[in-house]
Amino acid sequence: RYKIEVAGKSLPVLTNLDKGRYGVIVFENLDKYLNMDKWNRELLDKYCREYSVGIVGFVSPSEETLVGAQLRDFPLFVNTNLRLRDASLNPSSSVLRLTRAGETAWGALPGDDWAVFQHNHSTYEPVEWAQRNTQEYPADSVGQVQLPLTTVLQDRGQLDGIQRVLFGSSLRFWLHRLVFLDALSYLSHGQLSLNLERMILVDIDDIFVGEKGTRLRPDDVRALIATQKNIAAMVPGFRFNLGFSGKYYHHGTREENLGDDFLLQNVQEFNWFSHMWKHQQPHLYDNLTLLMAEMHLNYAFAVDHNIPTDSGYSISPHHSGVYPAHELLYLAWKKVWNVKVTSTEEYPHLRPARLRRGFIHRNIMVLPRQTCGLFTHTMYIDRYPGGRDKLDESIQGGELFQTIVYNPINIFMTHMSNYGSDRLALYTFQSVIKFLQCWTNLRLASAPPVQLAEMYFRLHPEEVDPVWGNPCDDVRHKKIWSKTKNCDSLPKFLVIGPQKTGTTALYTFLSMHGSVASNIASPETFEEVQFFNGNNYYRGLDWYMDFFPLETMPNTSSPMPTQLGSPRFMFEKSATYFDGEAVPKRTHALLPHAKIVTILISPAKRAYSWYQHQRSHGDVIANNYSFYQVITASDSAPRALKDLRNRCLNPGKYAQHLEHWLAYYPAQQLHIIDGEQLRLNPIDVMNELQRFLKIQPLLDYSNHLRYDVKKGFYCQAVSEKRNKCLGKSKGRQYPTMDERSAKLLQRYYLNHNTALVKLLKKLGSRPIPQWLKDDLSTGT
Ligand code: A3P
């Protein structure tokens, strides 16, 4: 979770060495450090000394084999391109913190390009040693006792005041990954440290679900209880967490049915949670009553068999319904089981596993789940994919081991079938825990899911808010997602505002086009959905998609957005999106390919129009204070007045907001409309917009828009004589802005307007609007 900055390829890039910016400097290739030009090297060394920043360096492989070669400027010598074996750690090294000097890691070390360090100065202290691989060099070993060779070395900085940790090989060797974490922690004086607590929860899903011949027999249950005891001795609080589907109780062989009974006789030995009654995907239930009825059946089964019902945890088969979130599942879970926690591997995506995150939706905490390499059909060690060695590799420093090292809270999913047959899961967890105890100082523990979830979101408060991704961008998500949903109905472009720039006019003009359609109107916010900015976002994607209904086209079974002929260009206009802090990130997660349309007018004029709008909507503050009083309200003014001032002035800081959008969307997806042109010359504006959006067929707006003298604006020409204009709330009559306010706002927006000119120039091929030139010329 640390932010890592990588210097450009053309190292050295040392222009950013400001105070406190870096905790540690890492050289993936030590040569780059040693061979730096003098000027940069001095700069870097000075920085390291002054701010007590250490250096990590890896000797990288090279064709040339060095024997006793001196490292430039250091009393240190290396031999390279060696094959080594049997690594062990120096128990008295002060670098080790998370890593524990355990047993020797016996056997050949990966790679044939190891470097070892020879040193003869008290500033150097070995961290790791290894031996020459004598099996491969038998001539070396005849009658000789091998001396350990230093493969990781600490430089205490006695010579030049800079502390370093040097690695003779890459992170390919599992132990180096641990030592590297410790090197970061040590050299950054604890700034880059992981804490040492690790929580482990092992779910056993599909209890009773397994096919005949794959289920637990009484002996397996005995082994489960015994191993649980052993693990609990190493991991305080550890209990297997059993997820049951009562429907399949007693569906095994005679012996397996006895196993079911034995499990229930020992019900109090374990933690329990509800899986589904039927092991099918809840997206098949698009009916809340049906979904709840199924859950009630499992509940009744639990009560009949003394299975506790208050764990607050549940799991959905195949992750379905959890993410992408199926609202009915969340609702039913709450109502029937009072579920507080669930877990999934799918948020935001299955891969890469290290980026899995959690979120909270409808008060249900969704925790990221990790993979342990055991799946429903992994039952026999000799049939483990890749063989026993593969499983052992994962346990002994490999993937499973590293997963626990990196994640403070680990939730693993296993299945009942992993505990029958060869009892692979028992072997796996017991072994990995022993290995962790041998090689790390991690403090392992376990707790029930609700406690883990609370702990998780205390550690990661930034994850509480979900970010809804596009289910169609991930094949797995698309498969999991409700079959009634279809990404074709999602908007292809967004009109983001800001408010009072002519967004309603644009919305109306667009809606006149037969190939363009907008969401159905929201009863709460009139036509606007306002999904991505406020609390509506927490209602979830299903809620949003209900604004874009699909209809079955005549003579075809394929659902298409409401339209005769080709699918319409769906769009959504919510004018508050423009300056919504979280909006670009959220829209980009769901609609990364959408085009973004914004309208700009003079920010001063916009602020004034907005103020008038608030007044006529009966806003008490706007009616009690003059425009000048609002825009000059100080920070000590009453809160409501300050809020009004901010909402009046902030959207007009155009450059700042546009930069925010451009951090997520490429410039080619952004279309900026000059709002004055939209008012005075909407026909050209609409033509240009159609071209930008690639809307087919092009509608000639000169046949559909007409200037209405009475309204003073362009309106829709509905017949030869009749125009349909926007309502009286658009194009209002109000006195012109007072001189004092106008002057003040010109000054206020001066820097923002200057930044806007710069931005428009940078974006290229976008004319500078006349109002912007005017605002700037009178503002100076
Ligand atoms: P005023 O009412 O202050 O004049 P929005 O729809 O984003 O709230 O913007 C309203 C503004 O759109 C109006 O502000 C008006 O100036 C402008 N506008 C642009 N073209 C228009 C049109 N054809 N009809 C009505 N208003 C239009």
Distance, in Å, from the CA atom of 675 to the CA atom of 601, rounded to the nearest integer, reads: 5
Mean per-residue pLDDT, 439-444: 98
pLDDT category at 526 given cuts 50, 70, 90 is: confident
535 pLDDT higher than 70: yes
10 pLDDT higher than 70: no
Q: Which atom of ligand 1 is nearest to the CA of 732?
A: 2
Cis amide linkage into residue 324, ω under 30° from 0:
yes
- Binding site listing: 609, 714, 730-734
Residues facing residue 368 across a β-bridge: 344
Task: Report how far apart, in Å, the C-alpha atoms of 48 and of each of 9, 164, 188, 477 are.
Answer: 21, 10, 11, 47
The answer to whether the CB of 713 is under 6 A from ligand 1 is: yes
The rounded mean pLDDT for the chain is 92
State how beta strands 149-155 and 164-167 pair: antiparallel
Task: Tell me which residue has tokens 């292809």.
Answer: 492
Higher-pLDDT residue of 64, 552: 64
41 pLDDT higher than 80: yes
Count CA atoms within 13 Å of residue 636 on its CB side: 0
Q: Is 500 a catalytic residue?
A: yes
Q: Which atom of ligand 1 is nearest to the CA of 725?
A: 24
The answer to whether the CB of 651 is under 6 A from ligand 1 is: no
AA identity, residue 190: G
Q: Which of 278, 485, 492, 500 is catalytic?
A: 500
Instruction: Please state the length of the chain.
Output: 780
- Binding site listing for 3'-phosphoadenylyl sulfate: 609, 714, 730-734
Q: Which atom of ligand 1 is nearest to the CA of 508?
A: 23
The answer to whether the CB of 609 is under 6 A from ligand 1 is: yes
CA of 647 to the centre of ligand 1 (A): 18
Task: Tell me which residue has tokens 């037969």.
Answer: 514
> Ligand 1 atom 5: the closest Cα is on which residue?
500
Token pair listed for 11: 């190292």
The answer to whether the CB of 243 is under 6 A from ligand 1 is: no
Task: Tell me which residue has tokens 């991930």.
Answer: 474
Listed residue (85, 23, 433, 22) closest to 228, CA to CA: 433
Higher-pLDDT residue of 652, 481: 652
The answer to whether the CB of 501 is under 6 A from ligand 1 is: yes
Mutation to probe ligand 1, out of 507, 526, 730, 732 (largest number of atoms < 8 A from CB): 730
Task: Report how far apart, in Å, the C-alpha atoms of 736 and of each of 708, 733, 741 are.
Answer: 21, 9, 11
The answer to whether the CB of 502 is under 6 A from ligand 1 is: yes
For 666, left (φ over 0), alpha (ψ -120 to 50), or beta?
A: beta
Give the CA dihedral 463, 465, 469, 471, nearest 10 degrees. Answer: 100
486 pLDDT higher than 90: no
Q: Are 435 and 227 in contact (CB under 8 A)?
A: no
How much is the pLDDT for 556?
37
CA of 680 to the centre of ligand 1 (A): 11
AA identity, residue 682: P
> Ligand 1 atom 24: the closest Cα is on which residue?
713
Q: How many CB atoms lie within 10 A of CB 292?
A: 19
Count CA atoms within 13 Å of residue 45 on its CB side: 14
Q: Are 100 and 52 in contact (CB under 8 A)?
A: no
Count CA atoms within 13 Å of residue 179 on its CB side: 33
Q: Are 209 and 249 in contact (CB under 8 A)?
A: no
The answer to whether the CB of 732 is under 6 A from ligand 1 is: yes
In our burial notation (b when 16+ CB lie closer than 10 A, e otherwise), range 710-741 reads eeebbbbbeeeeebebbeeebbeeeeebeeeb
pLDDT category at 379 given cuts 50, 70, 90 is: confident
CA of 730 to the centre of ligand 1 (A): 5
Distance, in Å, from the CA atom of 775 to the CA atom of 773, rounded to the nearest integer, reads: 6
CA of 700 to the centre of ligand 1 (A): 22
- Residues with Cβ within 8 Å of 30's Cβ and at least 6 positions away in sequence, in order, are 57, 58, 59, 60, 71, 166
How much is the pLDDT for 4?
65
Mean per-residue pLDDT, 520-547: 90
272 pLDDT higher than 50: yes
Q: Are 543 and 536 in contact (CB under 8 A)?
A: yes
The answer to whether the CB of 679 is under 6 A from ligand 1 is: yes
CA of 731 to the centre of ligand 1 (A): 5
CA of 729 to the centre of ligand 1 (A): 8
The answer to whether the CB of 504 is under 6 A from ligand 1 is: yes
- Residue 440 DSSP one-character state: B
pLDDT in tens, 111-166: 999 999 999 999 999 999 999 987 655 444 444 556 899 999 999 999 999 999 99
The answer to whether the CB of 480 is under 6 A from ligand 1 is: no
Distance, in Å, from the CA atom of 605 to the CA atom of 640, rounded to the nearest integer, reads: 22
pLDDT category at 527 given cuts 50, 70, 90 is: confident
Distance, in Å, from the CA atom of 661 to the CA atom of 667, rounded to the nearest integer, reads: 9
Q: Which atom of ligand 1 is nearest to the CA of 502?
A: 12
- Residues with Cβ within 8 Å of 417's Cβ and at least 6 positions away in sequence, in order, are 206, 210, 211, 214, 215, 376, 377, 378, 379
Distance, in Å, from the CA atom of 25 to the CA atom of 17, rounded to the nearest integer, reads: 11
pLDDT category at 428 given cuts 50, 70, 90 is: very high
In our burial notation (b when 16+ CB lie closer than 10 A, e otherwise), range 601-638 reads bbbbbbbbbbbbbbbeeeeebbeebebeebbebeeebe
pTM: 0.92
Mean per-residue pLDDT, 594-605: 98
The answer to whether the CB of 503 is under 6 A from ligand 1 is: yes
Q: Are 27 and 165 in contact (CB under 8 A)?
A: no
CA of 505 to the centre of ligand 1 (A): 6
What are the phi and psi torsion angles at 76 (to 5°)? -140, 140
Query: What is the crossing angle of helices 770-779 and 750-763, to 10°?
Result: 140
555 pLDDT higher than 80: no
pLDDT in tens, 274-307: 999 998 877 778 899 999 999 999 999 999 999 9
Task: Report how far apart, in Å, the C-alpha atoms of 221 and of each of 210, 265, 418, 419 are.
Answer: 15, 10, 12, 8
CA of 654 to the centre of ligand 1 (A): 18
Residue 707's SS3 state is: strand
How much is the pLDDT for 559?
40
Q: Which atom of ligand 1 is nearest to the CA of 730?
A: 2
Tell me whether residue 195 is exposed, middle or buried, using C-beta atoms within 10 angstroms of its C-beta: 0 to 12, 13 to 18, 19 or more: exposed
Listed residue (102, 137, 749, 690) closest to 442, CA to CA: 102
State how beta strands 69-70 and 595-600 pair: unpaired
pLDDT in tens, 83-99: 999 999 999 999 999 99
Mean per-residue pLDDT, 685-694: 97
Task: Tell me which residue has tokens 């976002």.
Answer: 537
Token pair listed for 479: 């498969």
Task: Tell me which residue has tokens 């950013």.
Answer: 16
Task: Tell me which residue has tokens 């007072």.
Answer: 738
Q: Are 464 and 433 in contact (CB under 8 A)?
A: no
How much is the pLDDT for 20?
75
